[in-house]
Structure 1
Amino acid sequence: MRLQFLGGTREVGRSAILVNDRLLLDYGMLTGNPPQFPVGSVDPEAVVVSHGHLDHVGAIPSLLSGDARPPIHWTPPTYELAMTLARDTLKLHGGTYNCPFTENDLKRVTEVAETHGYRETFEAAGHEVTFYNAGHIPGSAHILVREKRSFSGSRTQSGDDGETRLLYTGDFHTDNQRLVSGTTARPDADVVVCESTYSDVEHETRATVEEQFAQSVKMTLWEGGTVVVPAFAIGRTQELMLVCDAHDIDCYVDGMGQRVTRMLRTYPEFVRDADALRRATSNARFVTGRDGQRKRIARKNTVIITTSGMLSGGPAMTYIPEIRRNPVNKITMTGYQVEGTPGRSLLETGSAEIDGRIMSVSARTEAYDFSAHADRDGLRAFLDDYRDVPVLVNHGDRCEAFAAELRDDGFESAAPELGETVHV
């Protein structure tokens, strides 16, 4: 099996792996100014997508800009999320370098999309493919790719039937979240491509993080303050809605997270507790107005869950200026803040560029680890079932270091470079 790493190597973003020059796994973008996309020119016969986050699906429509029309395989929520993100990208950046596709390309996606549930095997570009729940966000999947002997042309040493089995983990979590259950799938594989986002981090238990978050929010509300909770629209917004409902905290919800919540409720089989999500949605008040309404809400003694999670745009651009001067108010960051983003600056310096202006923030700022990725222990526990097969580490800031740690522990492990081709 031939694996060409076109992105997501020794970095977090623009994930893309070409298998046997025919099958493409993910095709994302690395957000930034300017954004970065997978390297090289690809013309796959089929595309298989792990989940609906920009770093894995952000460039998918650009694959249809020419004459090729490869089928695109994903779970139903991943398809919906990819379309939502693509429309948002077109709205914000259409016609610029920041958007590598057009409205026509996006329409073509609907013509070639093929959806599959977990553990439903299908064929793609001469390979057998199966999705397994990855426990990251609704619809996220490990991707098991079977290379048939008739395609490879020679008998391999990986199995009596002459198949090579690649397990591409995508992004995954081994612990339960309120929105999705942690992954328990460990399909047999002959090589594993494993994410490593938090390979040097040990998460606190989710129950501990929730309790700390709830107590802090309630204290601010008791003091008469307002809490703004920047959150990613996909996964994190819904998780925080569930947390607020479980701890009897009323909240407003603003931004793309509203659309994502409505969509996820139509796929109850892809969430951990559909009834709990329904109750959390009923508990929340969705913001439908413009900045005038938002400014009024910001002056209330309340909680506001809103995009964007790194303060790089969205309704947060209205809420933060309104609450920043009062030290009783609070901003609770709930996800990883990429270096160079306003969210990262706020945590490190107490000021940030908000809507084009550098603003100092007197409101208290806190950070909570609601990560949807496996931490060091989770990664190692997952990989313990694959000690006898090669492990290729990607999707992380310290891929080489993690691969070295695995080798020290007896694994056959490496961290491919951008553009590298690996034969397994």
Structure 2
Amino acid sequence: MNLRFLGGAGEVGRSAILVNDRLLLDFGTKTGDPPQFPVDSPDPDAVVVSHGHLDHVGSIPSLLSGDRRPPIHWTPPTRELTLTLARDTLKLHGGTYDCPFTEEEVRRVTQVSETHGYREPFTAAGHEITFYNAGHIPGSAHVLVDDGETRLLYTADFHTSPQRLVAGTTARPDADAVICESTYSDVEHEARSAVEEAFAESVKTTIWEGGTVVVPAFAIGRTQEMLMICDAYDIPCYVDGMGTDVTEMLLRNPAFVRDADALRRAKSHARFVTGRDGQRKRIADQNTAIITTSGMLSGGPAMTYIPEIRDRPVNKIAMTGYQVEGTPGRELLETGSAEIDGRVMPVAAGVEQYDFSAHADREGLLAFLDAYQDTEILVNHGDRCGAFADELAGVGYRASAPDIGETVSL
């Protein structure tokens, strides 16, 4: 089996791996200014997609340009999330170099889509494929690829601990080689229960004191997780942005969430925002939590809420996800001000950061890999892939970290 790494090696973003020159695993986009795309434009016989985040699916429609029509295999939520993200990219960047596909190519995605559940083997480009629940977001999958000679496990993004929205992964299928993510290979997450309690206490105190809490959250996974936490701790909240549509979609696919009834109750507890900026400005004056995109303050309804609440110290901004360097969210955490809609705004409101990561930490990664001590490990999807591979090799693993563009023969 030959693997060519077209992206996601030594970085977080634009994941793309070509197997035997025929089967493509993921085809993502690395967000930034400008965004980056995989280093080649392959013409695969089939595409298999692990989950619906931009860094894994952001460039998928571009594979359908010209006469190319490879079938695309994924779980039902991943299909829906990919289309949602693609339409949002068209809305924001269509017709520019920041968007690698057209509206017609997005339409073609629905024509070649083939959906599958977990542990239901299927054939793609002459390979037997099986999805396993990866515990990252709804529909996320480990991908087991068998070409008749070699069994490859592509972990994609995964979490070993349970979240309110999805259960942690328990799958450890037999494999000859593993491509393993390493996003948090040098981090130990605080216990989720402790993070939840600290978040809830802070938000409740702020509301009791007469403040408003803006909770920037990624639309896919994080918005629903925060929605369920607010319900569990009886925190009044609004939900705004793309996360509202994603929540509705997940309720149409209840088999892919941990507790569909709990998600329905959480939706009933919240108020979904469907209005314009005038309504948002009125909501910003209320004593409530507002869960809204974008998670890194780079767009979305947060651009309305933050300016409205920023000048009162009683208010709060509760960041719930990792803030990439160069984003307004990262700038806010480091400097106390952020560039919003082209204006640098000092923020007097309190700013807090909470680790609600949906990735395995160092302990989780090592616990997962413990089942593969005699297996070749290829480390990708992280800022320190080489360092983590060296650490694994130091304790007896056959581990390495491929470079972008490199071909590895198994």
Q: Which residue of 2 aligns with 1:312?
A: 298
1:398 aligns with 2:389: no
* Counterpart-to-counterpart distance in 1, 2:228 and 2:277: 26
Distance 1:41 1:79 in 2: 21
1:300 aligns with 2:300: no
SS of residue matched to 2:393: helix
3-state SS of paired residue (2:4):
strand
Mapped to 2, the partners of 1:300 and 1:65 lie a distance apart of 48
Task: Tell me what 1:143 maps to.
Answer: 143
| Amino acid of the structure 1 residue aligned with 2:269 | N
Alignment correspondent of 2:61: 61
Structure-to-structure mapping, 1:53-132, within 5 angstroms: 53-132=53-132
Of residues 258, 261, 267, the one that matches 1:281 is 267
Q: Give the equivalent residue in structure 1 for 2:167.
A: 181
Give how far 1:407 is off.
0.3
The one-letter amino acid of 2:157's match is D
CA distance in 1, matches of 2:41, 2:136: 29
* In 2, Cα distance between equivalents of 1:362 and 1:414: 46
1:324 aligns with 2:315: no
Paired letter, 1:253? V
Q: Distance in 1 between matches of 2:235 and 2:204?
A: 8
**Secondary structure of 1:263's match?**
helix
Aligned-residue RMSD, C-alpha:
0.4
The answer as to 2:409 corresponding to 1:417 is: no
Q: Given that residues 41 and 63 in structure 2 are in contact (C-alpha distance below 8 angstroms), is that contact kept between their aligned partners in structure 1?
A: no
In the alignment, does 2:223 pair up with 1:237?
yes
What amino acid maps onto 2:146 in structure 1? R
Q: What's the offset of the Cα at 1:118?
A: 0.2
Provide the C-alpha distance between the structure 2 equivalents of 1:209 and 1:397, rounded to a whole number of angstroms.
24
Q: Secondary structure, in 3 states, of the residue corresponding to 1:38?
A: coil
- Name the counterpart of 1:167: 153
Aligned length: 410
Matched residue of 1:405: which SS? helix
Is 1:259 matched with 2:255?
no
Tell whether 2:203 aligns with 1:217: yes
Whichever residue aligns with residue 320 of structure 1, its letter is I
Amino acid at match of 2:361: D
Task: Look up the equivalent residue of 1:371 and give its one-letter code.
Answer: S
State the match for 2:190 in structure 1: 204
Query: Shift of the alpha carbon at 1:265?
Result: 0.2
Taking the aligned partners of 1:30 and 1:418, their CA distance within structure 2 comes to 13
1:11-64, Cα deviation, whole Å (9 max, x unpaired): 000000000000000000000011000002300000000000000000000000
1:340-379 → structure 2 map (5 Å cutoff): 340-379=326-365
Divergent runs of 4+, >6 A: none
TM-score normalised per structure 2: 1.00
Q: How many angstroms apart in 2 are the aligned matches of 1:187 and 1:196?
A: 19
Q: Which runs of 5+ in 2 are unaligned?
A: none
Post-superposition shift, 1:406?
Answer: 0.2
What letter is aligned with 1:421? T
> Does the 8 A contact of 2:185 with 2:388 survive in 1?
yes
Please report the TM-score for the alignment, with normalisation by the length of structure 1. 0.96
Distance 2:134 2:319 in 1: 24
Query: Which whole-Å CA distance do the structure 2 matches of 1:172 and 1:41 have between them?
Result: 27
Tell me the residue number matched to 2:176: 190
Partner SS for 2:3: strand
Q: Percent identity?
A: 78
Per-residue deviation, residues 208-258 of structure 1 (Å, max 9, x unmatched): 000000000001011000000000000000000000000011100000000
CA distance in 1, matches of 2:398, 2:174: 17
Paired with 2:326 and 2:40, the residues of 1 have a C-alpha distance of 27
Q: Which residue of 1 aligns with 2:21?
A: 21
Matching residue's letter, 1:383: L
CA distance in 2, matches of 1:354, 1:303: 20
| Residues 118-176 of structure 1, C-alpha deviations (whole Å, 9 max, x = no match) | 0000000000000000000000000000012xxxxxxxxxxxxxx21000001000000
